[in-house]
Amino acid sequence: MAFEGLSEKLESVFKKLRGRGKVKEADVREAMREVRLALLEADVNYKVAKDFIATVTQRAIGAEVLESLTPGQHIIKIVDEELTVLMGSENTDIKFSSKPPTILMMCGLQGSGKTTHSAKLAAHYKKLGKRPLLVACDIYRPAAIDQLKVVGERVGVPVFEMGTENPVVIAKKAAYHARDYGHDLVILDTAGRLHIDEELMGELTEMKKQVSPHEILLVIDAMTGQDAVNVAKSFDEILGIDGVIVTKLDGDTRGGAALSVKAVTGKPIKFVGMGEKLDQLEPFYPDRMASRILGMGDVLTLIEKAQTDVDEKQALKMTEKLKQNAFDLTDLLDQMRQIRKMGSLSSIVNMLPGGNKVSEEETAQGESELRKLECIIGSMTVAEREKPDIINPSRKRRIAAGSGTRVEDVNRLLNQFRQMQKMFKQFGGKGKKGKRRRLPFDPSQLGGMGGGPMM
């Protein structure tokens, strides 16, 4: 994930501070020099990094911090607060018009991900009960209209297109079409260029004038680093953007653009792309991102993902089965698939406190183990899943051959499952006075997450 290098360097700096019972002003200034270098290496704008360090240093050398019994923790808290302020303090959603449809104009350079993220945005608001309409205004890039149709079909959102007609005319006709057919959200997928030029900006300015979009969202690629911030500044000066969508924030990128864009343009980041799939778009919460950067995880986003991606009825059903000690291997398989719906194992781990310390090799190994377990259970008959005790040596050999694994792997799964059953029986059984012991958690509270022993 982005910020991985920055997180590691900050963790190293704070580890030194936490190890000292008393922190002097010289220690704070030395630590801040290291933090500044870490920010610059993460491709944070030079002036932004300089101002950030000045603010943190001024707060950190106060008497309250230096004389504290836990000065290291105080300084981490200050850095967390200032990172949150740097990225915008609070989540900023789209402001919907009281008179539908709300029109969003997506803009950005070619290759930044406008078309894909137009569909992601449509899918996001469709889940929230909106009736979006995608509009193909990019008539220059080969197959741009076809691409929008494909992603629109995948998220179940209609696409309005008029071939190679003038983009401004297309946008105006789309607004009328949306009013006539009851669409309350119109997303204009505009053309991009390899660089900012007069032709591009002229067309976008004219579209803004003729259509009067309620919000203009700039899509920038986190992998372009400082250039993304310069692009944002140029678009804002000429067009007047209302917010930013940062893409590819899940990749091996330094992520400095996300830390710099709000300070440089004054415009908030509204969404971040966290993967290639069309459901991998997250509202941007500065406080949660600051927590991720500092290795404190983002449990709130994880819970929200569980509530969105996990079937609530299935979660309640699983809760009852756990309470009755009726959990079988089919249920375990269902739970693994529910987890997979929430994203990759590495993305889930990164949202847990301390998850940044888990290496890519470890998460990759975990992914491999999950796939192996799925294959093993998938090779069992219904009767074997319901009653694993009937699995004798010959059945184990058949299951191992069918799943492409070894008998030892099948034995390991069965042993782990028996241990799980014992744990749930202990909490689900009756105590001395005949009262049923409560489970140590209620799986339905996390939309099904807690019901999955694999978590």
Return the domain boundaries, the chain.
4-86, 102-294, 304-446
Under 8 Å between Cβ of 52 and 87? no
pLDDT at 448: 37
pLDDT at 393: 92
What is the spatial distance between Cα 19 and Cα 250, in angstroms, rounded to a whole number? Answer: 32
- Burial code of 366-402, b = ≥16 C-beta within 10 A, e = fewer? beeebebbbbbbebbeeebbeebeebeeeebebbbee
pLDDT at 439: 43
pLDDT at 356: 58
pLDDT at 445: 38
pLDDT at 303: 64
Q: Could you tell me which CATH number the domain at 4-86 has?
A: 1.20.120.140
Determine the topology of domain 304-446 in CATH.
Answer: 434 Repressor (Amino-terminal Domain) (1.10.260)
Class of the CATH-defined domain 102-294: alpha beta
Bridge-based pairing state of the strands 185-189 and 243-247: unpaired
Nearest CA to 1 out of 363, 372, 389 is that of: 363
The per-type count for the chain, helices as H runs and strands as E runs, is 20, 8
pLDDT at 369: 84
Q: Over its length of 455 residues, how does the chain's per-residue pLDDT go in tens digits? A: 557 777 888 888 888 877 666 778 888 888 899 989 888 888 888 888 999 999 998 888 876 666 665 777 788 888 888 988 988 878 888 989 889 899 999 999 888 889 999 999 999 999 999 999 999 999 988 889 999 999 999 999 999 999 989 999 999 999 999 999 999 999 999 988 777 788 888 889 999 999 999 999 999 888 777 788 888 888 999 889 999 999 887 765 667 777 888 888 889 999 988 888 888 898 988 888 888 787 765 556 666 666 666 666 666 677 677 666 677 888 888 877 777 777 667 667 766 666 656 666 777 777 788 888 889 999 999 999 988 889 999 999 999 999 999 999 999 999 988 888 777 766 554 444 444 444 444 433 333 333 333 33
Other C-beta atoms closer than 10 Å to the C-beta of 407 total 14
pLDDT at 441: 40
pLDDT at 443: 39
What is the spatial distance between Cα 251 and Cα 127, in angstroms, rounded to a whole number? Answer: 25
